[in-house]
Structure 1
């Protein structure tokens, strides 16, 4: 009996040792190559060649894109997520978090808790802010869902949608097909790609609009609901974890459609609404509070590369309510239906905060409301004048 067990146990020990040797080689090599690639990437884009060609960005060729996609970014992201989850000594926490805040310009005065209360760097990333640190504009029909930088905004007229100026991604790949019965019927009747955009609208007289917000490492990493909305279902797309830094987005088209993302499909008072949280390099995970089953950046891949869908039974979320959090920075993409007089009160590249209004009335709408107010004032004045008239 002992003779039978001995070779089995020696094989197991040898197998475990081989795995240990492999991991000791793979992990440092993967991290080293990733750091080298990022450094070389930044150098090439800063010094290697000019960025703009005929007022447009110079896109990366297929070889460079393929090499970049082959980097072990998912592995390094999980390692980085593990490192940032290690509990830090209480005495070192204020020093380390203060150092991080100085580098990435994080505002420590708006944090609700003392710095020593955050056990690790991830918990500091998703820190809770003081009450009323982000006041919600009650008069706005649409507010900013996150703190960050506005990368792009505007109407969507085709399936080629801007991710930054001059560089696009495919909307149909980003959202997937068959979002509802109406969409399914429309796509069956129309084969042109641009009909996909029209099929999303509840009201054919409306338009589809987009807003992209990039969360930098120093930003508040929780994201909120931009309006009162109901969520029908969620789609989780497995994919790459490429960097969503604006410098990378300028050179790599279709990046949003390649990256891992979770898209929540629903409605608001204006019609169709898609709320997407896009993964990125070193994002440990994405958490959504109303979706407990969501698990991103997992070791085991899904059965297929197709999206995984889950129903949320028309979950209601009020404007300004907490929606979820990034376990490091990333990007929010809003796609929503609104009337044709919807106007963004934003500028590309500006910094916005949660609760800040996104829209303003068009000039025609403002003139109309001004005329209505003038008529109301005149009618009230006329009524008061009639009261004091002598009666015969």
Structure 2
């Protein structure tokens, strides 16, 4: 017993001394060798990954910087030329230049592809209903069930019920599309208002020599104001304009505003800048820069130009009587000039379907009419397809009143015949 206790005490004393010796050497325990190796390997990998990323990031950044610098220098040297009073107008503002440098055509094509992807049938009513609630689209007017639209683009160009858009019969000019009225009124010069206080160049918008005049004849014989007069079939008439903006929630098909004959079409490949009214206030000449399709012809009042203007995220513009039209495509500088195609005097009736926007955009209507033509609209109001644009002139109403008075007088005279005269 005594020996066992002595041994226990010796062992306890030995353990205490070893513990004190270890504490005296260091309070921090040393790391094992395998931990040191793992830490060193991780640090080496981290450094290698950083070096690889910098090898990729630095050349890419330098390349984009050179590309942006080249584009910036080109825009400041040449800009977007728009001839006004025999002098170029350059968009040299920094914000406008940066905005024009954005790859909006590429993003619009990508967006057009995304909205064309077929959606699951079970999710279609929920997704379209959610979209309709955000952009205030009226689903009660839709002819088909929501599950019948395979993708978002087909929902955009949805067909409405038969009597959803009655055509006004008491007017010779009706609204071509659903949307918001940005501007309307007579056109007296080539500086035409796109919104109140901000203008675009009509000559650049439509192109030259519309009435069988060469470019040299126009530049020599006509001035900017005479260009508007050269469009008129009757010199006693005036040129009028209507601009309708289609919001994302609007019905995206557009119709013929009147009985018209289309002679030819001009496709202007250009930018795809936003045509939102908030942007139009700060971007003069935007309609002259954007991609657009202009259909030139005649109606009973004279000259008619029906233009569908492209915009950001507009997949494409489709016109039913023009099967060869393709918009929002890749184009090179040599093919950036407008292209003209004949439509062999195609006849379009009033209210007939004309085309569709594969997302929202703008309709610009330019037409010739008598000087007493009066719009029955207000700037900023919402209009629908088939709604009358004009009211009867005062002369016509006076003639109707005179005719009514004449009929009443004749009826009174015949009634007085049977009365005995005193």
Which TM class, normalised by the smaller chain length?
0.7 to 0.9
Q: Determine whether 1:186 maps to 2:221.
A: no
- TM-score between the two structures when normalised by the length of structure 1: 0.82
Deviations 1:51-103 (A, max 9, x none): 99999999996221111011000000000000000000000000000000000
Query: In structure 2, the residue corresponding to 1:311 is in which secondary structure?
Result: strand
Q: Are the equivalent residues in 2 in contact too, given 1:57–1:166 (CA < 8 A)?
A: no
Aligned twin of 2:308: 277
> Deviation at 1:221?
0.1
Question: Which of structures 1 and 2 has the bigger CA Rg?
Answer: 2
> Deviation at 1:322?
0.2
What root-mean-square deviation, in Å, do the aligned CA atoms of Structure 1 and Structure 2 show? 9.8
> Deviation at 1:115?
0.1
Q: Are the equivalent residues in 2 in contact too, given 1:30–1:72 (CA < 8 A)?
A: no
Q: Determine whether 1:126 maps to 2:154.
A: no
Quickly say closer, same or farther: Cα 1:377–1:85, change in 2 above 3 A.
Answer: same
Unaligned runs of 5+ residues in structure 2 are 1-33
Quickly say closer, same or farther: Cα 1:33–1:384, change in 2 above 3 A.
Answer: farther
- TM-score between the two structures when normalised by the length of structure 2: 0.76
Unaligned runs of 5+ residues in structure 1 are none
Q: Are the equivalent residues in 2 in contact too, given 1:150–1:352 (CA < 8 A)?
A: yes
Quickly say closer, same or farther: Cα 1:165–1:113, change in 2 above 3 A.
Answer: same
Q: Are the equivalent residues in 2 in contact too, given 1:182–1:199 (CA < 8 A)?
A: no
Quickly say closer, same or farther: Cα 1:236–1:47, change in 2 above 3 A.
Answer: closer
Q: Which moved more, 1:12-21 or 1:198-207?
A: 12-21
**Match runs of 1:1-392 below 5 Å:** 62-181=93-212, 187=218, 190-301=221-332, 303-369=334-400, 371-378=401-408, 380-381=410-411, 384-385=414-415
Quickly say closer, same or farther: Cα 1:291–1:53, change in 2 above 3 A.
Answer: closer
Quickly say closer, same or farther: Cα 1:60–1:238, change in 2 above 3 A.
Answer: closer
Partner Cα separation in structure 2 for residue 6 and residue 325 of structure 1: 67
Q: Are the equivalent residues in 2 in contact too, given 1:186–1:199 (CA < 8 A)?
A: no
Quickly say closer, same or farther: Cα 1:347–1:313, change in 2 above 3 A.
Answer: same
> Deviation at 1:304?
2.4
> Deviation at 1:323?
0.2
Quickly say closer, same or farther: Cα 1:4–1:285, change in 2 above 3 A.
Answer: farther
> Deviation at 1:190?
2.4
> Deviation at 1:48?
25
Partner Cα separation in structure 2 for residue 191 and residue 327 of structure 1: 38
Quickly say closer, same or farther: Cα 1:79–1:204, change in 2 above 3 A.
Answer: same
Quickly say closer, same or farther: Cα 1:25–1:54, change in 2 above 3 A.
Answer: farther
Q: Which moved more, 1:65-74 or 1:22-31?
A: 22-31
Deviations 1:353-388 (A, max 9, x none): 00000001233442233x332344136416744986
Query: In structure 2, the residue corresponding to 1:389 is in which secondary structure?
Result: coil
Partner Cα separation in structure 1 for residue 39 and residue 352 of structure 2: 57
